[in-house]
Amino acid sequence: MKPLSATLALTFAALVGASAALADDAPSEGARLAFEGADGIAACSSCHALNGRGNPQTKGPALAGLDAAYLGKQLRDYRAGTRVHESMDPIGKVITDAQIDAVSEHYAAMIGAPASKQPASPEEMALGKRLAERGAWDREVPACEQCHAPGGLGFGQHFPRLAGQHAFYLEGQLEAWRSGVRKNDHDELMKTVAERLSAKEIAAVSAYYATLDPNPPAQAGAEETAEAAPTEEPAAPTSATQGGAS
Ligand code: HEC
Ligand code: HEC
């Protein structure tokens, strides 16, 4: 009789081989939608970029690394017509629940990066940071961080990440809430915030968040360089799951 460990090793090898083969032959449904589109659905990457980090030319926001349930809610809102935009409405008309789930998982698994490496003027950065971390209590504007988490990293499915998002998009959304074009927020949480901000404050807080690293500190810079790594322990095995989906 073969020792148990050898049997296990063989089984393991077979399983790994099988899943690798599957991954090679069949790109996930989410990846197919993102890169190729489907009937009536243009490839998401044509506007949101191949790396999912958005594209100022097409006005597509960054989607990489945003919470999957948040992305799913937005797609369902375009479908229901509670959020409207000429670029996303045609997709909303035809996209199915299964496609929404698949493509949301796909983008949630991608890794984001700061949209802007160029800080705004020191005054603008200081104003943006102050709103983000302390708000403007004289006008009852809470700190953005209270809902969007420290560093704008986002919290769960309801409070999206702002860190690293393009300034044009953040600014556009705040203006859209202020003017009533976007109104898919629960209890008007964002409308209440946006309508109390001046145009100058909106520009400043948007420019500020665009420069922040969207990755939680533990993985910051992991993709670009290994700069932060040398003195640290080798990555734990769980980090292998990071790039796994897609
Ligand atoms: C023709 C260009 C275009 C295509 C194609 C496109 N998008 Fe978009 N997408 C946009 C624009 C522009 C916005 C911002 C719309 C707004 O202001 O509401 C957007 C917004 C979004 C948002 C909201 C993001 C947020 O942070 O709230 C999601 C989610 C999204 N798109 C997913 C997709 C997916 C998934 C696909 C492919 C199935 C796709 N988009 C294809 C242009 C596009
Ligand atoms: C009371 C909680 C709360 C506070 C405070 C708050 N937000 Fe939000 N914000 C939300 C919620 C909830 C959403 C998601 C709405 C939805 O589901 O579409 C959101 C969404 C956004 C979005 C859209 C992101 C995207 O990907 O489309 C932007 C931009 C934004 N907030 C900016 C800010 C800024 C800047 C501040 C501080 C000045 C701020 N928020 C403070 C609750 C809050």
- On the 0-12 / 13-18 / 19+ scale of CB atoms within 10 A, 138 is exposed
Verify whether ligand 2 is closer than 6 Å to residue 110 (CB atom): no
Write the residue with the smallest CA distance to atom 37 of ligand 1. 44
In this predicted structure, what is the pLDDT of residue 21?
A: 43
- What CATH architecture is 122-218? Orthogonal Bundle (1.10)
The answer for residues whose C-beta is within 8 angstroms of residue 109's C-beta and 6 or more apart is 242, 243, 244, 245, 246
**What CA–CA distances, in Å, run from 178 to 71, 117, 189, 191, 197?**
22, 28, 12, 6, 9
127, 77 Cβ separation under 8 angstroms: no
In this predicted structure, what is the pLDDT of residue 221?
A: 53
In this predicted structure, what is the pLDDT of residue 87?
A: 97
The one-letter amino acid at 186: H
Pocket of ligand 1, candidates 28, 29, 44: which has the most ligand atoms within 8 Å of its Cβ, to mutate? 44
Verify whether ligand 1 is closer than 6 Å to residue 212 (CB atom): no
Token representation of residue 101: 């789930």
Q: Where are the domains of the chain?
A: 25-108, 122-218
Verify whether ligand 2 is closer than 6 Å to residue 190 (CB atom): yes
- Using the mean position of ligand 2's atoms as its centre, give its distance from the Cα of residue 14 in Å: 47
- Using the mean position of ligand 1's atoms as its centre, give its distance from the Cα of residue 1 in Å: 58
Q: What is the pTM assigned to this prediction?
A: 0.85
In this predicted structure, what is the pLDDT of residue 225?
A: 45
Local structure of 41: helix, strand or coil: strand
In this predicted structure, what is the pLDDT of residue 219?
A: 56
Query: Cβ of 121: how many Cβ atoms within 10 Å?
Result: 10
- What CATH architecture is 25-108? Orthogonal Bundle (1.10)
157, 67 Cβ separation under 8 angstroms: yes
Token representation of residue 211: 């420069």
- Using the mean position of ligand 2's atoms as its centre, give its distance from the Cα of residue 147 in Å: 7
Verify whether ligand 1 is closer than 6 Å to residue 7 (CB atom): no
**What CA–CA distances, in Å, run from 186 to 73, 177, 190?**
12, 12, 8
Write the residue with the smallest CA distance to atom 23 of ligand 1. 74
Please give the average pLDDT of every successive group of 10 residues along the chain, which has 246 residues: 46 40 70 96 98 97 98 98 96 97 98 91 96 96 97 96 98 96 94 96 98 83 45 40 38
The one-letter amino acid at 143: A
Nearest to 98 by CA among 46, 151, 30: 30
User: 25-108 and 122-218 share one CATH topology?
Assistant: yes
- Using the mean position of ligand 1's atoms as its centre, give its distance from the Cα of residue 59 in Å: 9
**What CA–CA distances, in Å, run from 236 to 4, 15, 241?**
27, 22, 10
